[in-house]
Amino acid sequence: MSSLIDWDLAARAAKRFSPVPPSVSRQQADDVVGELYQSTSQAAGHVADLTRLDEPPVTAVTRVVDRAAWIDANTSAMRTVMTPLVEKLSAGNPVGRLAEGIGGRITGVQVGLILGFLSGKVLGQFEFFDRPGGQLLLVAPNLVTVERQLKVDPRDFRLWVCLHEVTHRVQFTAVPWLRQHMLDEVAALTDAVETDPAVLRQRVSSGVGELVKVVRGQGDGSGLMAVIASPEQREILDRITAFMSLIEGHAEYVMNSISPDVIPTQQTIEQRFALRRRRGGDPLDRLLRRLIGIEAKTRQYVDGSAFVRAVVDRIGVADFNAIWTRPDTLPSKAEISAPMQWIARVHA
């Protein structure tokens, strides 16, 4: 059956556009892979101590992957997530099969460009859309590239990153309703998508001014989706933004709270990594980041971490963990910037 997105082409295009991997010997590659698996196991105990969340027996698969394997995993996940949206947009579509096929190839290449770009940026990921049990992905070439750029201790850096990703695994397994909550929010966003071509043209037209700001670096970094979103969609996006700020900020808090006895160079790694984030890449890299919303993602780490630290410093980890009780104890976007408001609401 024809599709609005040719996913096989997207994966092939992404692999063509993916950056050249760092030069390593076979022995070095084997050492990195082995150490990352070991660091993942080691991180679990530290995450349990710092979060005080009870992770059930681990069923998620841990995979140390190259960029091509990361692309395959995320192409499959995106296909799973976007199928309801594609079906909605295709329903009653008068466009012929030939035109739809051509459009599918064009959008496939566009998706491939984005995935190819991201394949050189992502260090690790807990992916839970495609597999209900989830899979923890560690992208070895990117870890090696960044640790060389930062000139940090490789062993410490790899454990530091694993702390972050294992925290995500713990979040979504110790708090089992989180995955369904995120799926529900994505479904709500899909339901809110407008399919009337006239309305879509009007929204895109009205968003051109905001898009120019994004290109000039004057936008809020939320990416193209936020530019053309309807008021209803923006409300959902705000909830998703708050949710992701919490999830990413909590993992950031954990990795930066680890004892120097565990990671002696943690402070150096944190400082150099933060500086690298602030500087960004070359101008084209920064433009792409703004267009697809990576700048907003970076703010989620910073704002979310500040929120978690403020709450934990004020009321402790045990009372902070009330946040995982149910969806209405999650912070709003406004509360991420005002932690005391969340404390007042949940711990009245």
Same domain, 7 and 107: yes
Give me the amino acid identity at 313. Answer: D
Same domain, 267 and 347: yes
Distance CA 174, CA 303 (A): 23
Same domain, 181 and 171: no
Q: Say if CB 336 and CB 246 are below 8 A apart.
A: yes
Same domain, 261 and 163: no
Same domain, 191 and 297: yes
Same domain, 80 and 136: yes
Q: What is the tens place of the pLDDT at every residue in 100-147?
A: 556 678 888 988 998 999 999 999 999 988 887 899 999 999 999 999
Cα angle vertex 141, ends 136, 143, to 5°? Answer: 70
pLDDT per residue, tens digit, the chain (348 aa), is 346 788 999 999 999 999 999 999 999 999 999 999 999 999 999 999 999 999 999 889 999 999 999 999 999 998 988 888 777 766 655 554 544 556 678 888 988 998 999 999 999 999 988 887 899 999 999 999 999 999 999 999 999 999 999 999 999 999 999 999 999 998 888 787 766 656 555 554 444 444 444 434 444 445 555 555 677 888 888 898 899 999 999 999 999 999 999 999 999 999 999 888 777 655 555 555 555 555 666 777 889 999 999 999 999 999 999 999 999 999 999 999 999 999 999 998
Same domain, 86 and 141: yes
Same domain, 146 and 181: no
Count of the separate structural domains present in the chain: 2
Please give the residue range of the domain that contains residue 264. Answer: 176-348
Residue of 305, 294, 296, 297 lying closest to 336 (CA atoms): 305
Is 311 exposed, middle or buried (CB count within 10 Å of its CB: 0-12, 13-18, 19+)? buried
- Domain boundary among the residues 154, 175, 196 is at 175
Same domain, 162 and 184: no
- Domain boundary among the residues 125, 144, 175 is at 175
Distance CA 281, CA 70 (A): 21
Same domain, 190 and 301: yes
Same domain, 39 and 87: yes
CATH code: domain of residue 68: 1.20.150.30
Q: Which long-range contacts (CB under 8 A, 24 or more apart) does 177-181 make?
A: 177/326, 177/327, 178/247, 178/324, 179/128, 179/132, 179/134, 181/243, 181/327, 181/330
Same domain, 92 and 182: no
Query: Could you tell me the pTM of the whole model?
Result: 0.85
- Domain boundary among the residues 175, 205, 223 is at 175
Which tokens go with 103?
């459009």
Q: What is the tens place of the pLDDT at every residue in 281-329?
A: 555 555 555 555 556 667 778 899 999 999 999 999 999 999 999 999 9
Residue whose pair of structure tokens reads 């030939």 in the numeric block: 98
